[in-house]
Chains A and B, each alone.
Chain A
């Protein structure tokens, strides 16, 4: 999925502004991220965490936006007509966003995890192998044929993380991933998050969960009143 070179995945995101109903949600945010980053993003309810993640995933159009990566190979500005289209395409190819309450498509767990892989032109056996591997990592190897609506909230979240992991994006954006999880599900989610790190997938995670500290973040960003503060990790 990712089109970025794994050795040099430094992205510079700048001039991010977003208003909703004339209220400023994000104001002139500028920051850099790398695929080696494991970022905890905090902020009060309504501080714009989910909005920022959706913009980064190319799912929400900001009022203004600048994107550059590597040595400014690509720079896009929302002011030009096609620039958001180009930035959006780039972001969608490199970022995968997970909703706070994940959406699983109707069908089996297998179908859900295989969804992204089916758009990558892989053979059936390759897809099957990757899905089996993902099911093992989320400790649900026996649930491949289970209908997705029959899963608990925690199981759905784990399946959703696995579904993102198998397509191997440059960055995964996790929006409050532990909100619906008990301790067992959370530990299983930690395992897959560690797997993401091992695979050099950059992670940005928003959380209110005090246990999130058990995860080994190397950056901590805090959103407050539309702005962003980098805190000590």
Chain B
């Protein structure tokens, strides 16, 4: 019964439901957009440059991948709350705070996966670009282009991680309707109220998105193998 209601909500174009879906994608998309460039550049440095503590940083990012979202939420909450060191910024319970939380969550994953991808790119790609007269910055972009399929897969994996996280968004976003309520926090709220229809509808959206992301990932990986 609840499932039928959920499907009805989805297909009838329920404004509140679609607003939550849109907000969720908007926040997570911005979080990925802001984190990916820096994460990829750090990954490149870890893969191609030799410097002290390089291995330590690799281990650090690998470890940070498994930080629970609720710990990130708690830390940010303490930093952003009125009595916290960043309280003056008045970011708590805003979309910006949710974006920061999601950036913190996906950043180590993006670095670790991009590093693994870039590490796997043939060293001759860099040497060939340099010996053909490319400026080192251009050579970096050539290597990134060679790794584009793996990097896209890393970004999609990062997006998958944050679109479904509830701990951080709930704590620093506050689950405010029309402003900071996204799919996972809405599901948590509706379930606690015993109102399952909206929760199921949003769950269907998340599952569909996971399916689409995985199909796209499989396609991307296929393209990567084809180009080898």
Contact = CB atoms under 8 A, between A and B. Distances in A.
Whether A associates with B in a native complex is yes
A52 interface: no
B11 to A, nearest CB: 42
B142 interface: yes
Contact of A116 (B124, B133, B146, B226): B133
A99 B128 contact: yes
Contacts of B142: 105
A99 B124 contact: yes
B127 A119 contact: no
Contact of B131 (A57, A106, A147): A57
A97 B124 CA distance: 11
B132 interface: yes
Contacts of A106: 145-146, 227
Given A105-B146, A106-B145, A149-B227, A59 B122 contact: no
**Interface of chain B, helix or strand or loop or mixed?**
helix
Contacts of A167: 132-133
A31 interface: no
B228 interface: yes
B45 interface: no
A58 B124 CA distance: 14
B131 A119 contact: no
Given A1-B133, A103-B122, A106-B227, A119 B138 contact: yes
A21 interface: no
A47 interface: no
B134 interface: yes
Contact of B228 (A58, A149, A164): A149
Contacts of A119: 132-135, 138
Contacts of A1: 133
A97 B146 contact: no
Nearest to B131: A97
Interface residues of A, number: 25
Contacts of B60: none
Nearest to B143: A105
A119 to B, nearest CB: 5
Contacts of B124: 99, 101-103
Interface string B143-186: 00110000000000000000000000000000000000000000
A169 to B, nearest CB: 8
A59 B132 contact: no
Contacts of A101: 124
A59 B130 contact: yes
Contacts of A93: 133
Given A105-B146, A106-B145, A119-B138, A96 B127 contact: no
A171 to B, nearest CB: 11
Given A103-B122, A106-B227, A97 B135 contact: no
**Residue from B132, B135, B138, B226 having most chain A Cβ neighbours under 10 A:** B132
Given A105-B142, A119-B138, A149-B228, A59 B133 contact: no
B132 A115 contact: yes
A163 interface: yes
B207 interface: no
B125 interface: yes
Given A102-B124, A119-B133, 4 more contacts: A54-B127, A59-B131, A97-B131, A116-B134
Interface of A: 1, 54, 57-59, 92-93, 95-97, 99, 101-103, 105-106, 115-116, 119-120, 147, 149, 163-164, 167
25 contacts: A57-B131, A59-B127, A92-B130, A92-B133, A93-B133, A95-B131, A96-B131, A97-B127, A102-B128, A105-B125, A105-B128, A105-B145, A106-B145, A106-B227, A115-B134, A116-B132, A116-B133, A119-B134, A119-B138, A120-B133, A147-B227, A149-B228, A164-B131, A164-B132, A167-B132
